[in-house]
Each structure stands twice: as C-alpha cells, then as structure tokens.
Amino acid sequence: MKELKIGFLQQHNVSDASVNIQRLSEGIADLATRGAQLIILQELHNSLYFCQVEDVNNFDLAEPIPGPSTDLYGELARQFGVVIVTSLFEKRAPGLYHNTAVVIEKDGTIAGKYRKMHIPDDPAYYEKFYFTPGDLGFRPIETSIGKLGVLVCWDQWYPEAARLMALQGAEILIYPTAIGYESSDTPDEQERQREAWTTVMRGHAVANGLPVIAVNRVGHEPDPSGQTNGIQFWGSSFVAGPQGELLYRASNDKEERIVVSIDMHHSEQVRRWWPFLRDRRIDSYTDITRRFIDE
C-alpha cells in the first residue's frame, strides 16, 4: 500500500484578502501537523469570488506568477514539507489574465501550473470577462508525491479533460472549485445540481481508474451589483477512490479542515479489473474533435 495523506480546506471567504490568507495559512499549518502530505485549496481562495460582476477594477486582484502568493505559499510548503495546490488570479501581461492553479513543491519551489481551459459565462459566473482560456494543455504536474492532474472548476464537467490527464500519466485528479446555488432555484433543483456535480467527477474516477478530489468553497457571498441574491456556495468537497467510492464528503454549509488517506496502489488493481484504457477504440474517435456532428 502506498498511502497518500491528502488535506483540504473548505473555507468561507470574506472581503478582506489578508484575513482569508491568514486563515488559509493557519489551516495549512494545522493540516500539515496532522500528517497531510498534499494540501489542496479551493478556487481563487485569496479573495471573494469576484466574477459575480463585470468590473474592471477587479483586475487589480491579479498578480504575476511567480509573485507574492507563490512566495507566501512556497514558504509554507517549505516550512511544513508539504505539496500545496493553489488557485490564483494570474496577471500574465497587461490585459492578459488567467485563472491558474499553481502546484508548490515541498521545498517551496513551483512544480508547475495549469491555466483553466474551460471558462464559463453564466449569470453570477462572468468568468469570460476576466480569464483568457488556458494554453498549457492538459498536462499532469510532476511532484515528489506523484503526478497530479490538476484541473479547475468548470473543467470538471468535461470527460475529455480528465481522460487527457489520465492518458499522460496523472495519478490523481484534482479540482479546486467555486460553485454554488442560484437563490431562485427550488430546493429540489439545488440538490439535483449538487448531486450532478458530485456524480460527474465520480464518473471521471471510474472511467479513468483514478482518485478524484474536489475542493469547493462554502458560505454565502453577496452580489456587489445587487442584481441577484448572491451565491450560496455548497461546499460538499469530497475525496473519491478509483471506483468512484466516496472516501469522504464534507458538509454543504460548514467550513472543514480534513485529512483523508488514499491507497495510491489501488488504482493499479482497479485498472487490471476494469481495463478501460486497453479497450478504447482510438481508431474510431476522430469525430470527438468536432463541435457537433450534423450529418
């Protein structure tokens, strides 16, 4: 058994970024002292989810990579000897910004980064206003604890993204996330959405024979424009094994700091029992690159 202890922070954010960062730092220290080797943070964890509105002043939240946040989380990674998956608003150049996950190695260096590929544009999720689609492809990041297939939030709905990570040797799929309820939806509809979110990623685990971790924020964040009632982020961060089995699922309305152990060798056994990669008909999939097949 190759045991990997994974820690995650499901947190409610406030408008003061320094408070968020301080609480994240405390959480990282706590998880590390409890044995976590890999610590995963939620999407855009330093600030409120600013994409509820289209406001050019929000670009002031962006920063270069390397930059202040990678320095800060790098020092924490070095201090505690852990690998950290961060999620940052990257300023690549004037007028060019990305939603970028950065993996920090346990010596404090940057192991690699992933720029979010699928960018949503829905009421209260106006991400296309802020983020240029990623251009680094779906490439796992090599670390001292294994190859991490890091994707971000909206990427979670796309089996192609998970598959391409798996085909390049990812040993685990990781999704920093910021997703919640639309206040006008009925409780039944809200629950359908939350369960669909969990189910699709558990399907990625099954289809690829890999563990999956999704880390979501929690709590209510108001809409600065007042046009909606804001977002109630549904938490429910989870760890699933390579057969889609739920090893842990967090609360939908409370903050949590959790350490979960995963048997990383179990993926090998699952892929022997269910050899989906062996039986793929790669000679018949060329149409997958088309937007839609009309004829």
In a domain, 265, yes or no: yes
Q: Is residue 293 part of a domain?
A: no
Query: Which residue segment(s) compose the domain that 183 sits in?
Result: 3-280
Residue 128 designated active-site:
no
pLDDT in tens, 151-203: 999 999 999 999 999 999 999 999 999 999 987 889 999 999 999 999 999 99
Q: At what angle do helices 187-208 and 159-167 cross, to 10 degrees?
A: 20
Catalytic one among 5, 43, 106, 171?
A: 43
Structural domains of the chain, count = 1
Respond yes or no: is residue 43 known to be catalytic.
Answer: yes
Cβ atoms 247, 241 nearer than 8 A? yes
Q: 59 — phi, psi (to 5°)?
A: -65, -20
177/205 Cα distance (integer angstroms): 17
The CATH number for 7's domain is: 3.60.110.10
Of the residues 90, 106, 116, 127, only one is catalytic, namely 116
Residue 286: inside a domain: no
Note the pLDDT tens digit of each residue in 243-290: 999 999 999 999 999 999 999 999 999 999 999 999 999 999 999 999
* Cβ burial 227-254 (10 Å sphere, 16+ → b, else e): eeebbbbbbbbbbbbbbbeebbebebee
Catalytic residue among 51, 153, 171, 221: 153
The 10 Å CB-count burial string (b at 16+, else e) for 140-171 is bbebebbbbbbbbbbbbebeebbbbbbeeebb
Domain presence at residue 207: yes
Confirm whether 51 is a catalytic residue.
no
The verdict on residue 123 lying in a domain is yes
Which among 81, 90, 142 is positioned nearest to 108, based on CA atoms?
81
In a domain, 287, yes or no: no
Q: Is residue 295 part of a domain?
A: no
